[in-house]
Amino acid sequence: MANILAVVEHRQGAVRDITYELLTFGRKLAEKTDGKLTGVLLGHNVDNLTDNLKKHVHRLIVADHDVFKDFNGDVYQQALADIIKKENPFLTLIGNTAFGIDFCPSLATHLGVPFTTDCIDAEIADSGIRVTRQLYDGKMDTHMKLSESPSYMLTMRSGTCPAEEGNLSAEMQKIESPITTQPSYKKFIEYIEAAVGDVDITKADVLVGVGRGIKEQANLSMVEDFAKAIGGVVACSRPIVDANWLPKDRQVGSSGKTVKPKLYIAVGISGAFQHIAGMKNADTIIAINKDSNAPIFNEADYGIVDDLFKVLPALKSKIMELKK
Amino acid sequence: MNFDLTNDQKMLQEEVRKYAQTELAPLAPEIDKSGEFPWASIKKMAQLGLLGVIVPEQYGGSGFDFVSLAIAIEEISRACASTGVIVAVNNSLTTYPIVQFGSEEQKKKYLPSLCNGQKIGAFGLTEPNAGSDVAGMESTAKLDGGHYILNGTKRFITNGGEAGTFVVFAYTNRELKHKGISAFIVERDTPGFSLGNHEDLMGIRATANCELIFEDVKVPKENILGNEGDGFKICMNTLDVSRIDIGAQAVGIAQASLDEAVKYSKERKAFGQPVCNFQMIQSMIADMATQIQAARLLVHYAGYCKDKGMQRFSKESAMSKYYASDIAVDVARKAVQIHGGYGYSKDYTVERLYRDAKILELYEGTSEVQKIVIARELTR
Amino acid sequence: MDLIVCIKRVPQTAEAEVRVDSSGKDIVKDRLTFDMNEADTYALEAAILLKEKFGGTITAISLGVADAEDTLRIALAKGADSAVRIKAEDFGELDGFKTAALLKEVIKDIKFDAIFTGCMATDDSYYQVGPVLAEMLGVPHATLVSKVEVSEEKVRVNRELEGGLIEHLEMSLPAVFAVQTGINEPRYASLIAIRRAAGKEIKILGKEDIPVETKTNSTLEELFVPPVGKRAEILTGSADEVAARTAGIIKEKGLI
Ligand SMILES: Cc1cc2nc3c(=O)[nH]c(=O)nc-3n(C[C@H](O)[C@H](O)[C@H](O)COP(=O)(O)OP(=O)(O)OC[C@H]3O[C@@H](n4cnc5c(N)ncnc54)[C@H](O)[C@@H]3O)c2cc1C
Ligand SMILES: Cc1cc2nc3c(=O)[nH]c(=O)nc-3n(C[C@H](O)[C@H](O)[C@H](O)COP(=O)(O)OP(=O)(O)OC[C@H]3O[C@@H](n4cnc5c(N)ncnc54)[C@H](O)[C@@H]3O)c2cc1C
C-alpha cells in the first residue's frame, strides 16, 4: 500500500495547473496499490481553494498561516519537513516548477529521502520507485531506479500527466502551522510583475516563434517581414530573450507566456519542453528546423526539415501570391 | 615529435572558435553583400587581444607565438574570410614588421593603437605596375631635412580605405635596385596622402581594398623602419611570416567548405538516398579532409620554424601558403560541386567561400611566386 | 568577497545527433563538442561581476574527467583565481545528489561568502546541485536566480518564476545561488588572460583526498531514444513545393 503526499502549488490566490496534474498522477499511482493520496495545502486565507482540491485527493491537509501568504522556499521546506515526518508517506510529489525546485532537493536531502527531479513518468516497481527522465535537450529518455528506501520524493515535469476531473470528496484536516515566521536569512519581499510591452502575443491569431536557429539579431528583420506578410506577430524562445534580441514579453514557454494562437510557426526552435509548455495548445503548429531529430517535430502538426533561411522567403512569396 | 597544441594554444583555439562562430560567422554573408568594413567586430577583437597576437605585452599585445597566431587566423577565417585577412594584415603585415624592425620609439608610438583597435594597419607594397616584381616599384622617398618626401601610388591595399597606420615601401635610391628600397611608417592624416579607387572585388569584399596615393607626403625622418635600403629585406622577411597566416586563412576557408559540404551531403537526397552515400561524393569528401589536414600541418610547421628561431624559413612558409591556397580553392570548388546547382546560388555559403578562396592564390605572392621561392631555396 | 563557482563541462547536443552507446547507459560522445554548461557561464559571469565590484577571490570547481580542466582553465582566464577538479573517474556513477555531496567535501574546507552554480545542466537536467549543496553546507539558497545585488551584509535576490513573474527576496550571506540563463553577458577570455591561465596549476582531488562514502539517489538502468508520440507530417520536396504546400495548409485553415 503506497500512501502518497502531493504538495499543492498556488500563487497569488490561484491553484496552478501543475497541481491538478500532480494530483491526477498521484491518485492513479496510489490507487494502483490501494494507497491514499493526501494533498498538502500551505497558505493563508485559502478556504476558497479547498473545494476543488478536495475532489482530487482522499485527504487534504491544510495549514493556514500568514507566513504562507507568499512563497518562500525555505518556509515550505521547514513546514513540509515537519508534516512529512508525521505523515511518513511512501512518496511525496512536487511540481518541477520554480516553486518545487526551490525546496524539493534541499528538503529531501534534509530528510535523507532518495529523490530525483524533472520526471516525466514514475511507477512503483519491486517495492521501489522507477522514473523516466529526459536528458540531452530532450533527445534521450532514461529509466532510473531510486535507491531502496521506505520513502521517496519526486518532482514531476508539468504537462506530462493531463489533469482529469476529480470525483472524490476528501476529508479536510486543518493543522497548526509548524512554522510561524520567515527565517531572517531568506525573506520574501514582493512579486514583481513582468513589464508589459507594446505587443501582446497571447492575443495574436498567428504567431511566428523564432529560436536560436536564426543565428543573428540582424536576421530577425527577415522574420518580422515574414510575420507581417502572414499577418502574424513575432514571438520567440528563451535564448533570443537571453541575448537581448527581443523583449521578454515575446518569450513563449514556461518562464515566458503561454499562448494559444490558431497558428504557431516554430522557426529554428528545437522544442525544449519549457518552450513546448507555452505553445502546445495552438490549434495548428508548423515547425521549420533543419535537424530532423529536433523534438519540435514530435509536437508539430506539420514539419519542414530544411534551412529556415531558404524556407521562409519561399513561404513568404507563396503567401503573397495566395493573398492576391 | 609532438603534435599536441600547448594548453594556451588549445584554449585560444576553443575561445576564438566560440567567438568567431557566434559573432563573426553570422555577419559574414552580410558584409560580403554590403562590403561594409566590420569595425564593430574589430573593436571587440581588440578587447580579446586578437589584433596584436604576437606583439609583446609591454606594447599592448598578447605575447603569443606564431603557431598561435596561425590558429587564431584559421578560426577567424573559417567564420569570415574578410575578417580573417583584415586581422592577418594587422598582425603579420603591420605589427610584425614594427616589432621586428622598429625602433623602441616606433614600437611605443605605433603598436598600442594597432593592438587596441583605435587604428587598423595596412601594408603598401603593390603598385599599378609592380606586383610580383617588387623591385619594379615606382614610388620614391627623398630625404629633405627632417622629412622624406614620399611620392607614388599603391594598388590593391587591404584595409587601405580604413587604415590609420601604413607600412609603405619606396625607393630612397633607385640606382641600388632592390637594395635601394626603404620601408616607412606612414600615418593616415599626413598631408598629401589620399585614397584612390576602391576595388570592387570578387571575394573578401569587406576588406576596404583601396588605392593609396602619395603626393609629396612629408614623412618624418624617424619613421623609417630600420635603415635606408633595408626595405627589401624587411619586405621579404615580413612576407615569410605573413604567408603562414595566408596559409592559415586558406585552411580556415577550406575547413568551412568541408563543414558545409558534409552537412549538405547528409541532408540532400537524390535517387532515394542522401547524396553522401554516393562513392563519388565520398571520394571528394575524403580528398577534401585529407588536403585540409596536410595543409594545416604545413602551416603549423612553418609557424613552428619561425617560433624556433630558424633564420631561413622562406621555403617552409612558401610551401604552406602555396599548398594551402591551392587546396582551399580546390576544396571550395568541390564543396560547390557537392551542393549541385544550389552551390552556385548566393543562398548557400559555399558560393561565397568559392569566391573568397580564389584570392589566396594571388596575394602576398602568387602561387607562381611561391614556387619560385621554393625552387630557388632548393637550387641555390 | 570570496566566491565559489561550480562548473560542469557538457556535450553540446542541441543541434547534434545523439546516439546510445554499446553499454546502453551512455551516449556516444566521441563526435560531440563539449563546452561549459550554458547556465554555468552566467553563474561564472555573475561571480566575476561581484569580484570586480567588491574584490576578493573566485574558486572554480568542477567534478569531471580530465577534459574538465580545459573548461576550468577558461574559467581561470575569465576571472577565477584558482581551480579544482574533482576526478569524476574515481567516483563511479553520479547524480545531482552525489555531485553535490562531493562538491561539499571540497567546499567545506574553503572560506566563502557565496557559491554560484547554474540552475541546471543541459546534459542530465537535474535541478539539484545548488540547493542540495546549500543544504549540506547548512546555508540558504535560491534557485532560478536572475539577479544578485549585494550591499553590506544583505543581498537582494530575484528569482524567475513562470510567466516572467519575479520573486524578490532578501537573503544573507553566505548562500548558494543557482542562476538562470540570460542574466548577464558572459565575457570571452582575452588572449593575455588565456596565456596567464594556461600556466596556472589546477588542484586535482581524487578518491584518496575525499575518503568519504558518497551515494547516489538513483541508478541509471537504460537510455533510449524517446518514443515518438504524435509525429508531425513532414512536408517534402523542393523549397518551392514545400512552401506552396505550407501556404496551402495555412489557407485551408482560413488564415490567409
Ligand atoms: C527554468 C527554465 C525555464 C525555461 N523557460 C523557457 C521558456 O519559457 N521558453 C523557452 O523557449 N525556453 C525556456 N527555457 C530554455 C529551454 O530549455 C531551451 O534552452 C530553449 O527553449 C532552446 O531554445 P531554442 O529552441 O531557440 O534553441 P536551441 O535548442 O539551440 O535550438 C535551435 C534549433 O534551431 C535549429 N536550426 C539552426 N539553424 C537552423 C537553420 N538555418 N534552419 C533551420 N533550423 C535551424 C537547430 O536544429 C535547433 O533545433 C528554460 C530553461 C530553464 C532551465
Ligand atoms: C584582394 C587583394 C588584396 C591585396 N592586398 C594587398 C596588400 O594589402 N598589400 C599589397 O602590397 N598588395 C596587395 N595585393 C596585391 C597582390 O599582392 C598582387 O596582386 C600580387 O602580388 C600579384 O601582383 P600583380 O597583380 O601585379 O600580378 P603580376 O605580377 O602582374 O602577375 C601576373 C601573372 O604573372 C605571373 N608571374 C609574374 N612574375 C612571374 C615570374 N617571374 N614567373 C612566373 N610567373 C610570374 C603571376 O604569378 C601572375 O600569374 C592585393 C591584391 C588583391 C587582389
pLDDT, tens digit, for every residue of C104-130?
999 999 999 999 999 999 999 999 999
In a domain, B2, yes or no: no
Question: ipTM, 2 decimals?
Answer: 0.92
Domain assignment present for B1: no
By the 10 Å C-beta count (0-12 exposed, 13-18 middle, 19+ buried), A168 is classed as: middle
Partner A contacted by C246 (CB < 8 A): yes
Residue B149, pLDDT above cutoff 90? yes
Probe site for chain C from A142, A184, A316 (most C CB atoms < 10 A): A142
Q: Tell me what the mean pLDDT of segment C66-79 comes to.
A: 96
State the Cα–Cα distance between residues B88 and B75, nearest whole angstrom.
12
Give yes or no: residues A303 and A208 share one domain.
Answer: yes
The interface residues of chain C toward chain A in range 75-94, judged by CB-CB distance below 8 A, are none
Q: Are residues A169 and A206 in the same domain?
A: no
Q: How many CB atoms lie within 10 A of CB B79?
A: 23
Closest Cα in chain A, distance from residue B339 (Å): 14
pLDDT band at residue C15 using 50, 70 and 90 as cut-offs:
confident
Place of cell 542522401: B274
Residue A75, CB-side half-sphere exposure with 13 Å CA sphere: 24
Q: Is the CB of A255 under 6 A from ligand 1?
A: yes
Q: Are residues B245 and B355 in the same domain?
A: yes
pLDDT band at C145 (very low <50, low <70, confident <90, very high): very high
- Is A152 found in the same domain as A254? no
- Beta-sheet pairing, B224-225 with B181-187: antiparallel
Supply the mean pLDDT for chain B: 97
Q: Atom of ligand 2 at shortest distance to CA of B199?
A: 1
B231, B255, B272 — which closes off a domain?
B231
Task: Give the sign of the dihedral formed by CA A163, CA A165, CA A168, CA A172.
Answer: positive
Q: Is the pLDDT of residue C153 over 80?
A: no
Both B265 and B335 in a single domain?
yes
User: In terms of domains, do A143 and A9 share one?
Assistant: yes
Would A245 be classed as within a structural domain? yes
**Which domains occur in chain C, in start order?**
2-205 (3.40.50.620)
User: CB distance B30–A218 less than 8 Å?
Assistant: yes
CATH number at residue B220: 2.40.110.10
B267 in contact with C, Cβ within 8 Å:
no
Ligand approaching nearest to the C-alpha of B356: 2
- How many residues does the structure list for chain A? 324
How many angstroms separate the CA atoms of C151 and B39, rounded?
38
C14 ligand 1 Cβ < 6 A: yes
Maximum distance among all Cα pairs of chain C, rounded to whole angstroms = 69
Asked if the Cβ–Cβ distance from B62 to C190 is below 8 Å, we say yes
With pLDDT > 90 as the criterion, what percentage of chain B qualifies?
97
Give the domain CATH number at B106. Answer: 1.10.540.10
Structural domain that includes position A49: 4-175
> Taking the model in full, what pTM does it have?
0.87
For the segment B122-133, the average pLDDT, to the nearest whole number, is 96
Residue C255: predicted pLDDT: 83
Q: Decide if A182 is inside a domain.
A: no
* B91 and B149 in a common domain: no
Q: Is the C-beta atom of A291 inside 6 A of ligand 1?
A: yes
Could you say which of B119, B135, B155 is where a domain stops?
Answer: B119
CATH number, position B255? 1.20.140.10
Residue range B213-244, pLDDT digits in tens: 999 999 999 999 999 999 999 999 999 999 99
Q: Quote the CA–CA distance of A146 and B347 in Å, as a whole number.
A: 51
* Min Cα separation C139/chain B (Å): 35
User: CA–CA separation, C69 vs C48, rounded Å?
Assistant: 19
Cβ–Cβ below 8 Å for C131 and A133:
no
Residue B364 CA, ligand 2 centroid: distance in Å? 7
Q: For residue C224, give the chain A residue with the closest CA.
A: A141
Ligand nearest to C-alpha B322? 2
In this structure, which ligand is nearest to the CA of B373? Answer: 2
Nearest protein Cα to ligand 1, atom 51: A274
Nearest CA in chain A to B345: A310
Domains contained in chain A, number = 2
Does residue B109 share a domain with residue B155?
Answer: no
Within a domain: A190: no
Based on the fold, state whether residues A171 and A236 are members of the same structural domain.
no
Whole-number Å distance, alpha carbon B363 to ligand 2 midpoint, is: 6
Structure confidence at residue C200 (pLDDT): 93
Mutational test site, ligand 2, from B362, B373, B374, max ligand atoms within 8 Å of CB:
B362
Phi, psi of B123 (to 5 degrees): -125, 110
pLDDT, position B140? 97
As a whole number of angstroms, the distance between CA A76 and CA A115 comes to 17
Ligand 2 atom with the smallest distance to the CA of B367 is 47
Phi then psi for B7, rounded to 5 degrees? -50, -50
Exposure string for B92-108, b = 16+ CB within 10 A, e = fewer: bbbbbbbbebbeeebbe
Would you tell me which residues 36-75 of chain B have a C-beta closer than 8 angstroms to some C-beta of chain C?
47-50, 53, 57, 62-64, 72
Q: Is residue B154 part of a domain?
A: yes
Interface residue C49 vs chain A (CB under 8 A):
no
Domain end among B86, B119, B152:
B119
Contacts of C123 in chain A (CB under 8 A): 135-136
Tell me if A147 and C246 make a contact (CB, 8 A cut-off): no
Residue among B154, B359, B363 to mutate when testing ligand 2 (max atoms within 8 A of CB): B363
My answer on whether B311 and B199 are in the same domain is no
How far does the centroid of ligand 1 lie from the alpha carbon of residue B17, in Å? 21
pLDDT at A5: 98
Same domain for A313 and A237: yes
Residue of B75, B316, B351, B364 marked catalytic: B364
Q: Which ligand is nearest to the CA of A267?
A: 1
Residues 6 or more apart from B3 whose CB is under 8 A from it? none
Contacts of A309 in chain B (CB under 8 A): 347
Domain presence at residue A186 = no
Specify the residue with its C-alpha closest to ligand 1, atom 26.
A211
Q: Is A106 in Cβ contact with C134 (below 8 Å)?
A: yes
- DSSP string for residues in A293-318: T-GGGGT-SEEE-S-HHHHHHHHHHH
Among B167, B166, B170, residue whose Cα is nearest residue B136: B170
Please check whether residue B29 lies inside any domain of the structure: yes
Q: Is B129 in the pocket of ligand 2 (CB under 6 A)?
A: no
Atom of ligand 1 nearest to the CA of A253: 8
Same domain, B139 and B114: no
Residue B99: predicted pLDDT: 98
What is the pLDDT, as a whole number, of residue A28?
A: 95
Domain match, B47 and B159 both = no
Task: Report yes or no: A188 at the B interface, CB cutoff 8 Å.
Answer: no
Q: How many residue pairs bridge chain A and chain C with CB atoms within 8 Å of each other? A: 275
Grid cell listed for C167: 520573486
What ligand is nearest to the CA atom of residue B209? 2
Whole-Å CA distances, C102 to A211, B89, B358, C99, C119: 36, 50, 55, 5, 18
A140 and A28, same domain (yes or no): yes
Q: Look at residue A195 and tell me if it is in a domain.
A: no
**Shortest Cα–Cα distance, B154 to chain A (Å):** 36
Pairing of β B210-220 and β B147-157: antiparallel
| DSSP codes, B256-283 | HHHHHHHHHHHH-EETTEEGGGSHHHHH
Q: How many domains does chain B have?
A: 3
Q: Measured between CB atoms, which of C122, C223, C251 is closest to A322?
A: C251
How far apart are the CA of B156 and the centre of ligand 2, in A? 9
Instruction: Report residues of chain A scoring pLDDT below 70.
Output: none
B269-286 per-position pLDDT tens digit: 899 999 999 999 999 999
Helices (H), B23-176: 28-34, 39-48, 66-79, 81-88, 96-101, 104-115
Q: Residues B186, B80: one domain?
A: no
Q: A289 contacts in B (CB within 8 Å)?
A: none
On whether any CB of chain B is under 8 Å from the CB of C14, the answer is no
One domain, residues B244 and B368: yes
User: Averaged over B6-23, what is the pLDDT?
Assistant: 94
The answer to whether the peptide bond before residue C174 is cis (omega within 30 degrees of 0) is yes
Interface check for C218 against chain A (CB to CB < 8 A): the answer is yes
Known active-site residue B187:
no
| Ramachandran category for residue B208: left, alpha or beta (phi over 0 → left; psi -120 to 50 → alpha) | left
Q: Is the CB of A270 under 6 A from ligand 1?
A: yes
Question: Among A158, A141, A163, which residue's Cα sits nearest to residue A254?
Answer: A158
Looking at the partner chain, which of C131, C144, C240 has a beta carbon nearest the beta carbon of A106? C131
* Helices marked H in chain B: 7-19, 28-34, 39-48, 66-79, 81-88, 96-101, 104-115, 231-267, 279-307, 314-338, 349-358, 367-379
| Pair A209, A162 in one domain | no
Q: Which domain holds residue B277?
A: 235-378
Tell me the HSE value of A144 on the side-chain side, using a 13 A CA sphere. Answer: 30
Domain membership of residue A265 (yes or no) is yes
The answer, yes or no, to whether any atom of ligand 1 lies below 6 A from the CB of A256, is yes
Residues A22 and A166 in one domain: yes
Cβ neighbors of B331 (< 8 A, separation 6 or more) are: B253, B254, B257, B258, B288, B291, B292, B357
* C-alpha B373 to ligand 2 mean position (Å): 14
Calculate the alpha carbon distances from A310 to A207, A219, A313, B129, C252 in Å.
19, 13, 6, 45, 23
A154 part of a folded domain: yes
Strands A91-95 and A115-125: unpaired
Chain-chain contact of A118 with C159 (C-beta, under 8 angstroms) = no
- The answer to whether the CB atoms of A109 and C97 lie below 8 A apart is yes
| Burial readout B133-149 (b: 16 or more C-beta within 10 A, e: otherwise) | ebeebebbbeeeeebbb
Between B314-338 and B231-267, two packed helices, what is the crossing angle to 10 degrees?
A: 30
Pairing between β-strand C154-160 and β-strand C141-151 as defined by DSSP bridges: antiparallel
Please say if the pLDDT value at position B364 is more than 90: yes
Ligand 1 nearest atom to the CA of residue C39, by list position = 53
What are residue A129's DSSP bridge partners?
Answer: A124
* pLDDT value of position B222: 97
Measured by CA distance, the residue closest to atom 27 of ligand 1 is: A212
Task: Check whether residue A102 and residue A223 sit in a common domain.
Answer: no
Q: At what angle do helices B81-88 and B39-48 cross, to 10 degrees?
A: 60
Check whether residue B197 and residue B248 sit in a common domain. no
Query: Which range has the worst mean pLDDT, B300-304, B359-363, C148-152?
Result: C148-152
CATH classification at residue A108: 3.40.50.620
Contact A158, A20 (CB under 8 A): no
Residue B41 domain-assigned (yes or no): yes
A48 and A97 in a single domain? The answer is yes
Residue A188 covered by a domain: no
Q: Residue C253: what pLDDT?
A: 85
In this structure, the answer to whether residues B21 and B81 fall within a common structural domain is yes
Note whether B247 and B361 are same-domain residues.
Answer: yes
- Residue B223 within a domain: yes
Q: Do B26 and A309 touch (CB under 8 A)?
A: no
- Give the domain CATH number at A287: 3.40.50.1220
Shared domain for A245 and A129, answered yes or no, is no
Tally the residues of chain C: 256
- Is ligand 2 within 6 A of the CB of residue B153? no
